[in-house]
Amino acid sequence: DTAVSQTPKYLVTQMGNDKSIKCEQNLGHDTMYWYKQDSKKFLKIMFSYNNKELIINETVPNRFSPKSPDKAHLNLHINSLELGDSAVYFCASSQDYRVANEKLFFGSGTQLSVL
Amino acid sequence: RKEVEQDPGPFNVPEGATVAFNCTYSNSASQSFFWYRQDCRKEPKLLMSVYSSGNEDGRFTAQLNRASQYISLLIRDSKLSDSATYLCVVLSSSNTGKLIFGQGTTLQVKP
């Protein structure tokens, strides 16, 4: 029944490793997003895709690469992890980013800890 | 200057109190505004959209002042279950669907 599901919920890894976070939504939405919430609780957009097309690509290190195999999935791959990458990563979806007053549905988050 | 600014609090209030949060935004071209609620260690969830005429949903009232570029949220008759972080959110004028989140205001309702 989960609308937006992301895995894993917790990810603990060493600096320099490569890791992926997966996200899937079963709401039939066209737009999916990745947000990062840092230790100061700021939620910042990283990427968005609409029906597999990249829409938003904020200034994030190119070690972060999103992949959208279809409109129901948006995965996040991170190369050469650094201490500063430690944060909670939220996946989200909405019907269509072009609609005003769109409601975002968030996944439950992935707590990434880089040691 | 941050695009969306909120007082992080915490606001500690007794049950039954009325509490108000304000938020300011920097881009006068912004058109859509929201309040999201985030419980500790959980994902944000939409609480309510904010309309120019102001809107109410039960004990919650949201208002928008475009001239001063601020948004407010009023909670009446606070419940213990209202304890959470309230995020002020502004839709960017970039037409990309980019939402800009404030840092959030933490509310603790005490018995």
User: What is the tens place of the pLDDT at every residue in A3-14?
Assistant: 999 999 999 999
Contacts of A108 in chain B (CB under 8 A): 42-43
pLDDT of residue A1: 64
Report how far residue A6's alpha carbon sits from residue A26's, in angstroms, rounded to the nearest whole number. Answer: 12
d(CA A26, CA A40): 31
Residue in B31, B97, B100 nearest the CB of A102: B97
Separation between Cα atoms, residue A50 and residue A98, nearest integer Å: 10
pLDDT in tens, B67-101: 999 999 999 999 999 999 999 999 988 888 899 99
Q: Which of B18, B40, B44 is nearest to A33 (CA)?
A: B44
pLDDT the model gives residue A47: 94
Mean pLDDT of A61-65: 93
Please give, rounded to a whole number of angstroms, the shortest distance from the CA of B80 to a CA of chain A. Answer: 22
**Burial class, A108, CB count within 10 angstroms (exposed 0-12 / middle 13-18 / buried 19+):** middle
Q: Is A94 exposed, middle or buried (0-12, 13-18, 19+ CB in 10 A)?
A: buried
Beta bridge partners of A47: A34, A57
| pLDDT value for B51 | 86
Collapsing DSSP states into helix, strand and coil, what is residue B80?
Answer: helix
Mean pLDDT of chain B, nearest integer: 94
CA distance A55 to chain B (A): 7
Q: Within an 8 Å CB–CB cutoff, is residue A60 touching chain B?
A: no
Give the pLDDT of residue B26: 94
Residues in chain B closer than 8 A to A40 (CB atoms): 103
Flag whether pLDDT at B28 surpasses 80: yes
In total, chain B counts a number of residues equal to 111
Average pLDDT over residues B7-15: 94
Q: How many CB pairs under 8 A join A and B?
A: 52
CB A13 within 8 Å of CB A113: yes
Question: In b/e form, how buried is each residue of A35-69, taking b as 16+ CB within 10 angstroms?
Answer: bbbeeebbbbbbbbbbeeeebbeeebeeebebebe
Say if the Cβ atoms of A90 and B32 lie within 8 Å.
Answer: no
Most A CBs within 10 Å, among B23, B31, B40, B43, to test the A interface: B43
Which has the higher per-residue pLDDT, B52 or B24?
Answer: B24
Give the 3-state secondary structure of residue B82: helix
Q: Report pLDDT for B53.
A: 85
Contact between B80 and B13 (Cβ < 8 Å): no
Q: Identify the residue among A31, A88, A104, A113 best suited for mutation to test binding to B, counting B beta carbons within 10 A and taking the highest.
A: A104
pLDDT mean over A9-36: 96
Neighboring chain B residues of A42 at a CB cutoff of 8 Å: 101, 103
